[in-house]
A and B are shown apart, each in its own frame.
Chain A
Amino acid sequence: MKLDLSGLESTVPHFGTSDGLSHGFPTAPSFDLPITGDFDGFQKEAIQMVKPAKGTTTLAFIFKEGVMVAADSRASMGGYISSQSVKKIIEINPHMLGTMAGGAADCQFWHRNLGIKCRLHELANKRRISVTGASKLLANILYSYRGMGLSVGTMIAGWDETGPGLYYVDSEGGRLKGTRFSVGSGSPYAYGVLDSGYRFDMSVEEAAELARRSIYHATFRDGASGGVASVYHVGPNGWTKMSGDDVGELHYKYYPVTPSTVEQEMGEVSGA
C-alpha cells in the first residue's frame, strides 16, 4: 500500500523553480527531511531542544530621528551561560538591521538569507527594498516552515523611502507593524522602562540612553539576559552603532556604591 506522504513535503519551492523574479536562482533552500519511524516524535523533541533558548532581551522603537535598536549579548542553555558576547543585532544590509531572539542558528541563517534576497531585489529592480517588503519576505518563509520547530523572534528595522520602518516577525508566522517592540525573556522588564520613558520627539542621544537603560534593567532582573548592551541607530543614511557597554559596569555607573560609615568592623571572637 502506497503511503500518502504529501503532508511531509516542504511547502517551500525547491531549487530550480522559477517565478520570474529569481529565474535560475534558488528561492529558498530546501532541506532534507530525516528518515525516521516516528517523525512526529522527532519533531516534538527537536522543538523542545530549541524552545528554552528565547533567553534574551532585544528592543526597538521608532522616534523622530529614526529607529533605535538595542540588545543584550548573553546566550544561555538552561542555567548555564554559554556566551556573554553574542551578536544579537544582525546587519542585513547597510540600511536594515534585524534582531536575534530564539534559536541562534535559525536567526543567523534566515537573516543572511534575507540579506541575499534583498540584494537580489536591488539588482532586479534597481532600487533598495522597502522595510515592508523585506519583512514580508522573511515572514512568508517562516510561515512556510511553521510547526517544524524553527524558533525565531525578530524585529526588522530600517529606513526606506517612506521613512523609518519597524516590523516584528516570528517563527509562528506572525508579522506586526509597530512603533515599539521588545522581544525575549527580559522583554517585560525592558517594556517597563521603555514605555515610561518614551517620547516621540527625543534626540538621538536621549533615545540611545533610553534604549541602553531599558536593556540594563532587563539584564538586572532577568537571569537569561546580560553581557553587553549594544545600541544601534538607523537614520536616513543607514545604521550606526551608538555604543556597546558592559552591563556590569553600567550598574555601578547608574547606582554607584557610596561607602557607608561603618559602626563595627570586625567581630572579636574569644579564643577556644
Chain B
Amino acid sequence: MSIFEYNGSALVAMVGKNCFAIASDRRLGVQLQTIATDFQRIYQIHDRLFIGISGLATDAQTLYQRLVFRHKLYELREERDMKPETFASLVSAILYEKRFGPYFCQPVIAGLGDDDKPFICTMDAIGAKELAKDFVVAGSASESLYGACEAMFKPDMEPEELFETVSQALQASVDRDCLSGWGGHVYVVTPTEVKERILKGRMD
C-alpha cells in the first residue's frame, strides 16, 4: 500500500444550486488497523470556505496549521476573508514549495465565491489544481467515489437533495474500501447557513 493509503481517507465535494456540500469519512487507521472513528478531515477556514485534506494524516494536520496561519495573516492585512479562488492558489503555492519533498496529501477545497457562486477544486500532492463544475473527490476510495458521483450527480440540486446525493455516494464508495469509512461527516453550505451532519455507516 502506498504512503497515500497509509491512514486511509475518503473526501468528496459537490456543487448544487447556490450551495455546495463537502463530505469525508471518519476513520483513522494505521494500514489495516483502525485507530479512531471520529477523525476530523474537513476544516473550516472562514464562514464560506472549507478545506478537506486526504492522505497522510500527519501531513494533513501540518498543512492545515500552516494554511490557517497564512489565512489569519491575510485577514489581518486585508481586513476581509479570502476568496476561494485565491485560497486555492495559496494552497497550490504552499504545496509546490515542497516539490522535492512533498506533503503526502490531496486537498479538496470548497467555498462560496462572489455572488454566492459555489467553487470547488482539488489538487495533487504537489499543487496541480483541478477545477470542476460538478464534483471533486480524493482519498484511498477516490476511484469508487468517481464512479458513484458520476452516476448520482445532477446539476442544480437543492441543499436537501444535494445532502442525500453526497451521503449516498460517500457511503457506497467507502463500503468498497477497506481503509475508509466507519461513519461520515457532511457539511452543506448555503449563503445563509452551514449544516453539519454525522452519518451512521457500516463500522467494518
Contact = CB atoms under 8 A, between A and B. Distances in A.
Contacts of A267: 193-194, 196
B48 A272 contact: yes
* Residue of B47, B112, B204 most packed against chain A (CB within 10 A): B204
Contact of B204 (A55, A248, A270, A272): A248
A65 interface: no
Interface stretch (B91-99, B101-109, B127-135, B176-184): B176-184
Contacts of A81: 175-178
A133 B8 CA distance: 45
A224 B192 contact: no
B33 A248 contact: no
Interface string A54-91: 01000000000000000010101011110010000000
Size category of the binding interface on chain A: 20 to 34
A222 B33 contact: yes
Given A79-B5, A272-B48, A220 B32 contact: no
Nearest to B182: A220
A1 interface: no
* Residue of B5, B32, B116, B177 most packed against chain A (CB within 10 A): B32
A223 B8 contact: yes
B34 A266 contact: no
Size category of the binding interface on chain B: 20 to 34
Contacts of B115: 272
B192 A271 contact: yes
Given A79-B5, A223-B8, A266-B193, A247 B178 contact: no
Contacts of B200: 252, 257
A251 B31 CA distance: 22
Given A80-B176, A81-B178, A222-B32, A227 B204 contact: yes
B76 interface: no
B192 A268 contact: yes
B159 to A, nearest CB: 12
Interface in B149-201: 175-179, 189, 191-196, 200-201
A182 interface: no
A74 B201 CA distance: 17
B202 A247 contact: yes
B24 interface: no
B179 A79 contact: yes
Contacts of B196: 267
A55 to B, nearest CB: 7
Interface of B: 1, 5, 8, 29, 31-34, 47-48, 112, 114-116, 140, 175-179, 189, 191-196, 200-204
Interface of A: 55, 72, 74, 76, 78-81, 84, 185, 219-227, 247-248, 251-252, 257, 266-272
Given A220-B204, A223-B178, A227-B204, 6 more contacts: A222-B34, A223-B34, A248-B201, A266-B195, A269-B47, A269-B48
